Amino acid sequence: MLVKRIIPCLDVKNGITVKGTNFINFRDAGDPVELGFQYSQQGADELVYLDITASHEGRKTFLDLVRRVAANINIPFTVGGGVNELSDVDQLLNAGADKVSVNSAALLNPKLINEIADNFGSQVCVCAIDADLVDNKWKCFLNGGRIPTNRELFEWAEEAEERGAGEILFTSMANDGVKTGYATQPLQILSQKLGIPLIASGGAGTVEHFRDAFLTGKADAALAAGVFHFGEIEIPTLKNYLKEQGIAVR
């Protein structure tokens, strides 16, 4: 049985970790390198660093921060935000990242997924999808949830897998930061349609929510931010709880 992964997510804006609600109303959460080190010590399986305004501001992601993270932590980490061409991926991997996350750029240019997979391997490419329920359909959004598209969550996730993505990171925008639980229904549908790992994101508020993401949503990993940043859930406590629920974790 594959073990389930716990992944703290660090949204970075102007060099500071921030946490928002429904993709807005951000508050500071601390130094991204220091937090990453703490999480690696506490037993996090991986980390995700997202430069949350890079795409919106039309700039590249933060190489200096990536180098500092790589020098200070010993678990795999993914970097996203402003990744829109192969040279970006090459620079991030050379700076120490293990994987890159593509979102807006892949929606605008789906061949980018093929190019990353062909040049660096599928295991490097995480396709992040921010989606919200619009007229009873899960629609994908660009630029950190700012711009709606015509693309539908399930067909886009399947296409991303076909093009070579190694993982899908699905964030339910309506659940983001409100701590009422992950969107388990679309997670369950995605898990049935996909043959690659699925990361749940958006909505963690209690240890039970992680359980539900794994048992009901059938996710392979659960990503969370605020509950970790503000000390509401400790990673060792969470993993002990999941083990008690019969869920395999490291």
Residue 128: strand pairing partners: 169
Burial of 71 (0-12, 13-18, 19+ CB in 10 A): exposed
Count CB-CB contacts under 10 A for residue 74: 8
Within 10 angstroms of residue 59's Cβ, the number of other Cβ atoms is 12
Residue type, 225: A
Active site includes 130? yes
Q: Is 88 a catalytic residue?
A: no
Residue 194 to residue 24: CA distance in whole angstroms:
30
Catalytic member of 11, 45, 51, 88: 11
130, 176, 212, 220: which is the annotated catalytic residue?
Answer: 130
3 state SS for 98-152: CEEEECHHHHHCCHHHHHHHHHHCHHHEEEEEEEEEECCEEEEEECCCCEEEEEE
Closest CA relative to residue 202, chosen from 170, 238, 233: 170
Return the active site residues: 11, 130
